[in-house]
Amino acid sequence: CSESDLGPISLNWFEELSAEAPP
């Protein structure tokens, strides 16, 4: 899969989404 298919990929997605998501 290329990045263009799936959008920007972040190795730290779990921490980033946890910081953004409602508690």
* Range 3-22, binding another protein (CB under 8 A): 5-11, 13-14, 16-18, 21-22
Q: How far is the CB of 15 from another protein (least distance, A)?
A: 10
* CA gap 23, 20 in Å, rounded: 9
Q: How far is the CB of 2 from another protein (least distance, A)?
A: 9
Torsion from C-alpha of 10, 1, 5, 12, nearest 10 degrees: -10
Contact residues toward another protein (CB under 8 A) are 1, 5-11, 13-14, 16-18, 21-23
